[in-house]
Structure 1
Amino acid sequence: MADLSYLDWPFFDDSHRALAEGLEAWCVAELDHHEPDDVDAACRELVRKLADGGWLRFAVPSAFGGAREALDVRSLAIIRETLGRHSGLADFVFAMQGLGSGTISLFGTPEQQAAYLPAVAAGEKIAAFALTEPDSGSDVAAIATSAEEQADGSYLLNGAKTYISNGGIADYYVVFARTGEAPGARGLSAFIVDADAPGLEIAERIRVIAPHPLARIVFNNVRLPAGALLGERGKGFGHAMATLDIFRTTVGAAAMGFAKRALEEATRRALTRKHGAGTLSDNAVVQAQLAEMILDIETASLLIYRAAWLRDVAGKRNTKEAALAKLHATEGAQRVIDQAVQIFGGEGVTHGSVVEALYREVRALRIYEGASEVQRLVIARQHLANP
């Protein structure tokens, strides 16, 4: 049984404890850690299962079928940590339903929210968030995809996005494009683009080390109605960052889910693997490895749930705290899982073992939603602005 003692921390209320306990029981009954042969089909099935379990309701506000009045970062983090401990793909599916609808929850018109959010919560629409481009990864201000307004108020969308999660299986994409109000970050806007829009092409499916549906998407004169504009024109950079401020914390939570599973596996291995007259757990080196793993997990967990509490309860913008949480949690999880592989020895690098899958699964978390290098810049700039 998973250690849920962290739920006694003052960051949570009884509803969070009930959520964690209920989801843990559901995961034990419904999920496993194996990798599917058909990742697209597996993701569609997981969307359905998460919706049937009621867990996708936490990805949207209650006015549109959600579980809480507003997006609650503590709930999102608990869900991602729990799912991540049981299934990296289930965590991916949940995260993308939240990230791909988050900008709509925060900035959409009532009509946009009604058209998309209930379907996200019910598992009827698969969501995607299209920010990264072939020539602009971490540098969002360098986005080149353009949306030119036409005389009738519509927009013509042209350009390309890459490494888009749920690319190829999504029902819609939240796309960030240049509308030209000003250079750099000040000239971007967000749009909702349905996957069947004429001119939208899945140019390439991208295969990565931990199987997830990703794609490069090309927009060739995709005509968008005026109602596809999401939020204020020219405010797309701020809309994207506000969305990431919520979900960046939960990336750290997913990393901790992976790390906690690795610690469980390594502990079991240490206690049962014969070593001399005893087991690996009697070895001082292994004990030190386990201690370092525990330290990384505990410190990261505190940073994650502090960042979530600041937003949910204190009502504060948590840009620095979310960056601290993501940076420390993802880097720490990489170390934890690497130590688990070391404790397993040859079995740790054998394809199909849990720790080998975790090793591949965790690596992308240090890159997406702001690479570790970017998080360091965010932290430093926030600190220097408020010394």
Structure 2
Amino acid sequence: MTGFALGVDQEEWCGQLRALAAERLRPLAEKGEPGRVNRPLLAALGELGLLERVFASGALELCLLRESLAYGCTEAETALALQGLGAYPVLRAGNEEQRERWLPEVRAGRAVAAFALSEPGAGSDAAALALAATADPAVEPAAGGGWRLSGEKCWISNAPEADFYTVFARTGEGPGAKGVSAFLVPADRPGLSGAALDMLSPHPIGSLTFDDVPVGPRDLLGEPGRGFRVAMDTLNLFRPSVGAFAVGMARAALDATLAYTADRTAFGGTLSDLQAVAHRVAEMATRTEAARLLVYAAAGAYDRGAGDVPRRAAMAKLLATETAQYVVDHAVQLHGAVALQRGHLLEHLYREVRAPRIYEGASEVQRTIIAKELYAGVVAR
């Protein structure tokens, strides 16, 4: 990528992905049940090699993948992204046994992963986690003992149907984020239960209850007390690609609006002849392009190993998700009542577009991160 312009091969790949999403994946998504894991859709993502690309690609390619799938099938995009979010901590911090057991199954779409960070009292303030990991010498005594997890997680995508969870719990090595450890917890572990939550978003979200769930040293992802870094490393990669998801939705809404307003007759001409409409569409297109470029810039910074990734990632997610909300809302307005019919593309996008402004750090959290990074630079000088 030079000057934020995609190469011919990249543009062709994105076009192929958009077509694949619409023609191959959309029919599978439509057969799924809202709020439930769509395992046939996951299997198709595995067969097509798309789940493999999540783990084998850099941040830019991940963004292109998510944007293109979102344009043609938001359910496929979300299913793919949740696999990456749940399993990336295993790839980055897991031991050889964990990687060999789970990553091939995730890549094939046979095992469902989930990222279990949020709690009823610790959503945006992730460092305030309360899930307790209490030391217990009776758990894996040959390895020096383990822990028992007690507490709750909430707003967990793919719960309670996931096959394993990357869980962040307080082991107490230090205050705040310094006392959090990460664990890989299989869904069949004794004491672990969950319940589905009835949410606006069509993908599965649930709560988890940990009742003295045993975990040992072999379940750790990385080192004790270093789990918060595992979580933040994961979010720094996936936050720009949440922006890419949002851009994909915005582009789909924009293209639908262009086609509709160019064809719809009103007041002696087409809607596009009306300056108010044309200017609104121009604003939608400009904001979408700006968000897209910022997403690419953040992804490029991540791939280069730049030191300002947290700020760039936060900016990309903030602008892209807020822009997508704006574009989809105005697309609905310009379409009128037809866009509110169940099954219409914009009705679907209107429901999908709201959640990304909250998950993986709400817009207010992104602004806090940006400001903190900016002022840190001023203090450093």
Instruction: Supply the AA of the counterpart residue of 1:117.
Output: L
Deviation for aligned residue 1:188: 0.3
Q: Tell me, yes or no, if structure 1 residue 189 matches structure 2 residue 181.
A: yes
Query: TM-score normalized by structure 1?
Result: 0.91
| Structure 2: gaps spanning 5 or more residues | none
For 1:133, what is the secondary structure of its paired residue?
coil
Query: TM-score normalized by structure 2?
Result: 0.93
| Percent identity over paired residues | 42
Cα deviation digits, residues 163-195 of structure 1 (max 9, x gap): 100002211000000001112111100000001
Q: Tell me, yes or no, if structure 1 residue 108 matches structure 2 residue 87.
A: no
User: Which residue pairs with 2:365 in the alignment?
Assistant: 374
What is the alpha-carbon distance in structure 2 between the residues aligned to residue 213 and residue 194 of structure 1? 18
Of 344-353 and 296-305, deviating more is 344-353
Alignment of 1:153-302 (within 5 A): 153-202=145-194, 204-302=195-293
User: Which residue pairs with 1:3 in the alignment?
Assistant: none
- Contact 1:40–1:169 at 8 Å: present in 2 too? no
User: Which residue pairs with 2:23 in the alignment?
Assistant: 29
What is the alpha-carbon distance in structure 2 between the residues aligned to residue 301 and residue 254 of structure 1? 10
Residues 164/41 of structure 1: CA separation in 2 closer, same or farther (3 Å cut): closer
- Contact 1:11–1:309 at 8 Å: present in 2 too? no
- Contact 1:210–1:357 at 8 Å: present in 2 too? no
What is the alpha-carbon distance in structure 1 between the residues aligned to residue 97 and residue 30 of structure 2? 38
User: Which residue pairs with 1:137 in the alignment?
Assistant: 123
Cα deviation digits, residues 100-125 of structure 1 (max 9, x gap): 01111111122222221111111121
Cα deviation digits, residues 119-146 of structure 1 (max 9, x gap): 1111121110000001111111111101
- Contact 2:25–2:44 at 8 Å: present in 1 too? no
Of 299-308 and 41-50, deviating more is 41-50
Residues 98/325 of structure 1: CA separation in 2 closer, same or farther (3 Å cut): same
Q: Tell me, yes or no, if structure 1 residue 73 matches structure 2 residue 73.
A: no
Q: Tell me, yes or no, if structure 1 residue 51 matches structure 2 residue 42.
A: no
Instruction: Supply the AA of the counterpart residue of 1:27.
Output: A
Deviation for aligned residue 1:265: 1.0
What is the alpha-carbon distance in structure 2 between the residues aligned to residue 275 and residue 269 of structure 1? 12
Deviation for aligned residue 1:55: 0.2
- Contact 1:11–1:306 at 8 Å: present in 2 too? no
Residues 260/371 of structure 1: CA separation in 2 closer, same or farther (3 Å cut): same
Deviation for aligned residue 1:15: 6.1
Q: Tell me, yes or no, if structure 1 residue 347 matches structure 2 residue 338.
A: yes
Residues 43/110 of structure 1: CA separation in 2 closer, same or farther (3 Å cut): same
What is the alpha-carbon distance in structure 2 between the residues aligned to residue 17 and residue 109 of structure 1? 37
What is the alpha-carbon distance in structure 2 between the residues aligned to residue 193 and residue 384 of structure 1? 38
Cα deviation digits, residues 313-339 of structure 1 (max 9, x gap): 355451000000000000011000000
What is the alpha-carbon distance in structure 2 between the residues aligned to residue 16 and residue 117 of structure 1? 27
Instruction: Supply the AA of the counterpart residue of 2:371.
Output: A
